[in-house]
């Protein structure tokens, strides 16, 4: 459940504290749901990630403005892989099983001027062989738009604490949830270029940094009056690069936005282990 949700965030190195947007903000920073203002359309997004070997991640989210200063989001996340062979204490085969993690939840964000505050609640269920367990967790986030001027642009800052809750118990084993507080900034370098930096503070390992950039090409730049835009993204995740060779840690992706439809893609190499591929489709209505 630690893998980034949303192809845009994954392409930008996993940054999400201040750069989250769209319905996927439900999984990244619930405060960013506040970007859905009263005149904003609702959005439904679905994502799929082909992870390492046979593992995969699926997600769906819906977000909409609520009243004059609020926004609401709901969705679910599904992580699994192909059937695995189980073994008993003697090393003999003991049948096959499919590992499965599920999470479903909702979040609310409220705007107070430039400040956005968000909170969410989710249920998490995990199954492994003949053992399964369930727990609940909360997410809390804050986002400040235009917190400071930097050069020709402005700076947004954000912070989020996700998966705050009791351990998940499978049989007699209780495992703590992956608590990873993070803080970050999004610099609007120019009207068509953003740069983001997150610092993540896992409770079970050393802190690490993530950086990402996004350059957008509006249709007007090509002399077109059509309502579309394209984006090129790249990033680096210090944590993903640890212990791996080659291009591990780097990521790249593309985005296309046409009228009510948004498509995002991300590619992230994992050294000799292969690469992950993600796609997100979103529809505004």
Q: What angle do CA 73, 282, 142 make, to 5 degrees?
A: 40
> Is residue 88 within 8 Å of residue 49, measured between CB atoms?
no
Residue with tokens 């609940």: 136
CB atoms < 10 A from the CB of 33, how many? 33
Return d(Cα 147, Cα 144) in angstroms, integer.
Answer: 6
Return d(Cα 49, Cα 212) in angstroms, integer.
Answer: 19
Q: What is the pLDDT of residue 73?
A: 98
Query: How far lies 79's CA from each of 11, 44, 74, 82, 102, in Å?
Result: 19, 20, 17, 11, 7
Q: What is the pLDDT of residue 92?
A: 59
Predicted TM-score of the model (pTM): 0.90
- Residue 31 CA, chain-centre distance (Å), reads 13
Per-residue pLDDT of the chain (285 residues; tens, 9 = 90+): 667 799 999 999 999 999 999 999 999 999 999 999 999 999 999 999 999 888 999 999 999 999 999 999 999 999 988 766 666 666 656 666 578 899 999 999 999 999 999 999 999 999 887 788 999 999 999 999 999 999 889 999 999 999 999 999 887 788 899 899 999 999 999 999 999 999 999 998 899 999 999 999 987 666 666 778 999 999 999 998 887 777 889 999 999 999 899 999 999 999 888 999 999 999 999
For the CA atoms of 17, 19, 24, 28, what is the dihedral angle to 10 degrees?
-10
Return d(Cα 194, Cα 214) in angstroms, integer.
Answer: 5
Helix (H, G, I), strand (E, B), or coil: what is residue 273? helix
Q: What is the pLDDT of residue 85?
A: 62
Which tokens hold the place of 80?
């699994």
Where are the strands (E) in the chain, listed by range? 43-50, 56-66, 70-80, 84-87, 93-97, 100-112, 115-128, 131-150, 153-164, 168-170, 173-175, 182-190, 193-200, 208-218, 228-237, 250-258, 261-269, 275-284
Q: What is the pLDDT of residue 91?
A: 63
């Amino acid at each position: 459940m630690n893998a980034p949700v949303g192809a845009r965030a994954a392409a930008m190195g996993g940054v999400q504290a201040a750069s989250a947007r769209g319905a996927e903000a439900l999984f990244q920073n619930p405060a960013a749901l506040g970007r859905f203002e009263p005149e904003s359309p609702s959005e439904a997004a679905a994502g799929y990630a082909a992870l390492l070997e046979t593992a995969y991640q699926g997600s769906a989210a819906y977000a909409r403005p609520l009243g004059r200063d609020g926004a609401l989001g709901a969705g679910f996340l599904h992580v699994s892989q192909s059937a695995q062979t189980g073994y008993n204490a003697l090393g003999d085969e003991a049948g096959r099983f499919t590992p499965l993690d599920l999470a479903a939840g909702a979040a609310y964000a409220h705007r107070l001027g430039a400040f956005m505050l968000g909170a969410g609640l989710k249920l998490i269920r995990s199954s492994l062989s003949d053992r399964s367990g369930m727990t609940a967790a909360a997410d809390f986030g804050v986002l400040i738009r235009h917190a400071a001027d930097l050069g020709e642009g402005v700076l947004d800052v954000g912070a989020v604490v996700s998966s705050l809750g009791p351990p998940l118990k499978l049989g007699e084993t209780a495992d703590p949830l992956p608590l990873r507080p993070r803080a970050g900034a999004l610099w609007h370098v120019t009207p068509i270029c953003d740069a983001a930096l997150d610092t993540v503070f896992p409770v079970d390992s050393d802190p690490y940094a993530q950086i990402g950039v996004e350059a957008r090409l509006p249709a007007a730049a090509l002399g077109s009056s059509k309502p579309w835009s394209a984006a090129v993204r790249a990033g680096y995740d210090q944590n993903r690069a640890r212990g791996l060779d080659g291009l591990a840690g780097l990521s790249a992706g593309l985005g296309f936005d046409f009228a009510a439809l948004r498509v995002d893609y991300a590619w992230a190499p994992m050294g000799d282990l292969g690469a992950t591929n993600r796609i997100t489709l979103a529809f505004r209505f």
